[in-house]
Amino acid sequence: MTEKVHSSLLTLPVEIVYRILDNLDEFTILCSVRDVCHRFNLITDTYNRYQLFTTLDLSNYQLQDQDIQCLVKTLPNNTTLTTINIGSNTNQDGLIVKLINALKNNKTLTTLDINCNSIKDQEAQDLAILLENNKVF
């Protein structure tokens, strides 16, 4: 009897994953490739472009809800980003509040550009508390 071979992401060669990553932009790698599975995270962590991915510029990007959800999901555990620019996104759907919550335990981000986002008074207070308690910013 012949044994069946099951193909999955767990058996996908690293070189093929790298070729896939070569054709994706940084935001897609950050938001769509991370947390697919443990093995994919390990491969992505060794991928040169991801290791050098320290700046995310989403200024004037007009972030959609799914983009914001993805970003706030990945930020707490991200260890490469040191700079994020989300300027001129008009604070869509409480973007600043969601970012503040996502960054509470982040240890690598040193620069957060949120200019031109119409920050409300409570958001500014929450941001001030985050900055006061953060040892990295």
Do 84 and 117 lie in one domain? The reply is yes
Q: Which domain holds residue 21?
A: 7-53
What is the pTM (predicted TM-score) of this model? 0.74
Structure tokens at 76: 């707490």
User: Of 64, 76, 66, which is closest to residue 100 (Cα–Cα)?
Assistant: 76
Do 71 and 100 lie in one domain? The reply is yes
Do 20 and 62 lie in one domain? The reply is no
| pLDDT for residue 118 | 78
Do 40 and 97 lie in one domain? The reply is no
In the chain, the number of structural domains is 2
Do 64 and 49 lie in one domain? The reply is no
| pLDDT for residue 98 | 84
Question: What three-state secondary structure class fits 25?
Answer: coil
| pLDDT for residue 47 | 92
Do 27 and 92 lie in one domain? The reply is no
Report, as ranges of residue numbers, the positions in the chain whose pLDDT lies below 50: none
Residue 112 within any structural domain of the chain: yes
Do 83 and 35 lie in one domain? The reply is no
For residue 78, what are the contacts with CB-CB under 8 A and spacing of at least 6? 30, 106, 108, 109
